[in-house]
Amino acid sequence: MTKRPYMVLEWNDTESNAKGWLCAYNFVNHYCGGGTRMHPTVTKEEVVRLATTMGYKYKACESQTTGGCKGGIAYDYKAPDAKKVLYRYLVAMAPYINAGVSIGGDLGVDYGDVLEILDELGIGLPATKAMKGDPKIQQNIKDHDVLCEKTYDGFKMYDMITGYGCAAALDEGWKHKHHGSARVVLQGFGCVGASMAWNLNQLGYKVVGIADVNCLVECQDGLDVEKLVKGRRPKGELNPDTFEKNYRVRKNSEWLDVDCDILVPAALEDVINKDNAHKVKASLIVEAANIPTTEEADKILAEKGIDICVDFVSNLGGIRIYEVAIFGLVPCEPTAIVEDTVRLVRKQIRRVFEKAEKEGISTRQAARILFEPDVFDTPDI
């Protein structure tokens, strides 16, 4: 049985209608980590679910230093005052950040903006008292800040690492039961979706559909991923100027209707649910987004024999890069970071699929057994 979260806080903005929450699911060594998302649909329940998932994700990350948390703001991330709202949210959460709650970026929130605001507030990179007093970690933090500006395949490190990890999960999950390439549909074209599409193209997969906030573009002969990524608009939007004449442009709500072998939800939560799970054509789902599948949908997908590369294993790249950089687990340079993340994701996906197959259970059940959090520490007081 999943334990209840350690702490849930609510915030009400005094200068807008924004509302926000912070959930610390579990502390490990007085420390927990997770992103902050901003979207009009964010709810307290969603933040709690995301924080719980982060606890499992850090376990899958083999972390001995960090538990899971999550922040969420119910507000339009495209609004002109979105960054000011984020600033006021972080001011409200400052006492908890100083007590070992390390919150970064997520959907609608740029990690660079978070770090900029925390620097302005005099907090800097969130750290416990022990971390602040450790000269080696303090040097690692400086190296991490330099790493944030470095690129890999043209992407900034934090913009690509989760997507490349998800591509590795997809490749490992697909090859566990199948041979050869496959047709992929991605729902979401933000940093994760775009970098994942780029890497899948490198790995020889055919991306036949991409949906963003505005539309769905499809081509069974394969989309020109490189052209679409390079022409991408801010906030993860496809640029129609990069569409070829043979592309079919459809409503973004029709992403489940595209014939494919692998389906990748890479944006919002609960997009595969009891009302549409029966429409899934793919034999494999790779959860690049956090909590994109509801429990009701899980049951339907299991009955259909559809495998899932579970979110807290597939998309752990964003926390793994932080973990290895801050705690000095691998050299703080792009190639070493990417190789480490890809190796870990492949290893854990393999463990999940092998356990599921051996015990006759779903991959979700296997992942929850393998990576259930077992440390529930206290804040840094």
- Which CATH code, of 3.20.20.140, 3.40.50.720, 3.30.300.30, 3.40.630.30, is assigned to 156-370? 3.40.50.720
As a residue count, the chain comes to 381
Same fold, 7-133 and 156-370: yes
Determine which of 99-103, 116-120, 141-145, 179-183 has the lowest per-residue pLDDT on average: 179-183
Is the confidence at residue 186, as pLDDT, over 70?
yes
- Look over the chain and give the mean of its residue pLDDT values, rounded to a whole number: 95
Range 251-273 average pLDDT: 94
Determine which of 104-108, 291-295, 345-349 has the lowest per-residue pLDDT on average: 104-108
pLDDT category, 234, cuts 50, 70, 90?
confident
Is the confidence at residue 331, as pLDDT, over 70?
yes
Question: Which residues lie closer than 8 Å to 334 by C-beta, 6 or more apart?
Answer: 147, 150, 151, 152, 157
Is the confidence at residue 3, as pLDDT, over 90?
no
Tens of pLDDT, residue by residue over 89-113, are: 999 999 999 999 999 888 889 888 9
pTM of the model: 0.91
Is the confidence at residue 28, as pLDDT, over 90?
yes
Distance between CA atoms of residues 202 and 45, nearest Å: 38
Tens of pLDDT, residue by residue over 147-182, are: 989 999 999 999 999 999 999 999 999 999 888 889
Domain 7-133 has CATH 3.30.70.260: no
pLDDT category, 268, cuts 50, 70, 90?
confident
Hey, what amino acid is at 98? N
pLDDT category, 1, cuts 50, 70, 90?
low
Is the confidence at residue 143, as pLDDT, over 70?
yes
Is the confidence at residue 358, as pLDDT, over 90?
yes
Distance between CA atoms of residues 315 and 313, nearest Å: 6
For the chain, domain boundaries: 7-133, 156-370
